[in-house]
Amino acid sequence: MSLNILAVDDSRTIRDMLSLALSRAGFVTSLAEDGEHGLEVLGNICPDVIITDINMPRLDGFGFIEAVRRQKAYRATPILVLTTESAPELKARARAAGATGWIVKPFDPAKLIRALHMVAGPGVSA
Residue whose C-alpha is closest to residue 85's, from 113, 54, 56: 54
Domains assigned to the chain = 4-11+22-120 (3.40.50.2300)
Per-residue pLDDT, 55: 95
pLDDT at 9 over 50: yes
Instruction: Write out pLDDT tens, residues 12-28.
Output: 999 999 999 999 999 99
pLDDT at 7 over 60: yes
Q: What is the mean pLDDT of residues 105-120?
A: 92
C-alpha dist (Å) from residue 72 to 37, 46, 65: 19, 12, 13
The pairing of beta strand 4-8 with beta strand 28-32:
parallel
Q: What is the mean pLDDT of residues 106-118?
A: 92
Alpha carbons 32 and 45: distance in angstroms, whole number: 12
pLDDT at 124 over 50: no
Instruction: Write out pLDDT tens, residues 41-100.
Output: 999 999 999 999 999 999 999 999 999 999 999 999 999 999 998 899 999 999 999 999
Q: How does residue 1 score in pLDDT terms, banded at 50, 70 and 90? A: low
Alpha carbons 80 and 14: distance in angstroms, whole number: 15
Q: What is the CA radius of gyration of the chain?
A: 13
Alpha carbons 67 and 47: distance in angstroms, whole number: 15
